[in-house]
Structure 1
Amino acid sequence: MNTLQTINDVSVLMCDAEGEVIAGEREALDCIGDAGYQGARWAVIPVERFDEAFFRLSTRVAGAIIQKFVQYRVGIVVLGDISRHTQASPALRDFVRECNRGTQTWFVSDTEELRERLAGPAA
């Protein structure tokens, strides 16, 4: 079950690790709708919820999902260890680094890192 939390005065929808696999735009829209309905500025989605194709940039799945979040002005946080994916793909590693420089999409390893990010000016 997804839960609304406030971290450093920012409302975030913490998605369960258990649940529908986010494989494309339809599942992303479900998450965006839930976040919007609950008034969350960010959707925090555990890495386990993403289809493997999300981490292969050549599939364009990540771009399509992230674009939906951008369109609806809901931030997306991929929560968890993605090192096996970034070690296998320099392009993904670069993509993650660029996303983490921005204010819309973040890849964080744990909730403590999320708290630090949300305490900063980009939150």
Structure 2
Amino acid sequence: MEIKEYIVEEIKVAEVISNEILIQHTDDALDLMGNLYYQGYDKIIIHQKNITPDFFDLKNKMAGDILQKFSNYRFRLVIVGEFSHITSKSLKAFIYESNKGKQVNFLSSLNEVLKLKK
């Protein structure tokens, strides 16, 4: 795993780069958040390919549990991936509602992330 650092509007952002699935369970996300928080980061960018596909099955509540933790700790999360192919209406609605706020966003490119305002 590699961390690429960005500073966006005075916010320290960590892009997590890996060829492996890094988040298999809720605890993996909490560990990642904790490690990056203690390194002084305010926001995490993680790629869709680094998160278990189970995360995107809302029935198992994994996404809700993980995103609630990020919200509780006020630690911003951006998941970068290809979400246009999603057929689940509930997942589409979940992503749409998340993207209305600033805490958790689902975006298609790193360029979109770096243009986000505080």
TM-score normalized by the length of structure 1: 0.87
CA contact (8 A) 2:24 2:51 kept: yes
Deviation at 1:74, TM superposition (A): 0.7
Runs of 4 or more off by more than 2 Å in structure 1?
17-21
SS at match of 2:115: helix
SS at match of 1:11: strand
Which residue in the other structure is 2:56 paired with?
55
Over the matched positions of the two proteins, sequence identity in percent amounts to: 29
1-side partners of 2:106 and 2:50: how far apart?
14
Deviation at 1:83, TM superposition (A): 2.4
Give 5+ residue unaligned stretches, structure 1.
Answer: none
Which residue in the other structure is 1:65 paired with?
66
2-side partners of 1:60 and 1:38: how far apart?
29
Between stretches 14-23 and 72-81, larger displacement belongs to: 14-23
SS at match of 2:74: coil
CA contact (8 A) 1:32 1:72 kept: no
Compare the two structures and name the one with the higher strand fraction: 2
Question: Is 1:38 matched with 2:39?
Answer: yes
Deviation at 1:89, TM superposition (A): 0.4
Compare the two structures and name the one with the higher helix fraction: 1
Alignment of 1:1-123 (within 5 A): 1-84=2-85, 86=86, 88-117=87-116, 120=117, 123=118
TM-score normalized by the length of structure 2: 0.90
